[in-house]
Amino acid sequence: MTRDNYQWGLGSDTETLLSHEATELILYAQNDYGAHRAYVVPMLKACQKHYDKGRGDYERMVKGFARIACPIARQYTIEHGSMVDRWSDIFPPSVRKEFAEHMADYFLGEYRLGNRW
């Protein structure tokens, strides 16, 4: 039995919206301690700071998450890819954009619920 996105905690509606590669990158970013602490948490704290001051901008937030998608994708490829795999072939810009938009939506959803980092 394989797990679908709902069982991984991504929600059933996300299953049809995200590619397999974007889902894999999101799960890696959320579950790998090093990637989460080094890239995701500082970005979430920066977004929170801007939204607390009333200067939150969705497009800038998506660009920020797209910027951290590159090192996360590199780290994923080092750990789970072969020596001939290129991280940019596994996670092309369209996948990294999906990752960034999902993470920005995740932040806004948590922020609106009152969860802070």
Terminal C-alpha separation, the chain: 35
List % helix, strand, coil for the chain (3-state, nearest 5): 75, 0, 25
What's the pLDDT tens digit per position in 14-40? 555 899 999 999 999 999 999 999 999
* Cα separation, 90 vs 108, whole angstroms: 28
Q: How far is residue 19's CA from residue 17's CA, in Å, rounded to a whole number?
A: 7
According to the model, what pLDDT value does residue 117 have?
Answer: 75
Specify the DSSP element, H or E, that contains 60: helix 58-80
Instruction: Please tell me the predicted confidence (pLDDT) of residue 9.
Output: 53
Angle 33-113-27 from CA coordinates, rounded to 5°: 30
User: Encoding tokens for residue 24?
Assistant: 């894999």
**CB count, 10 Å around CB of 22?**
22
| For the chain, domain boundaries | 17-113
- Nearest CA among 91, 97, 109, 95 for reference residue 47: 109
| Residues in the chain, pLDDT under 70 | 1-16
Q: Which helix (H) or strand (E) holds 112?
A: helix 93-113
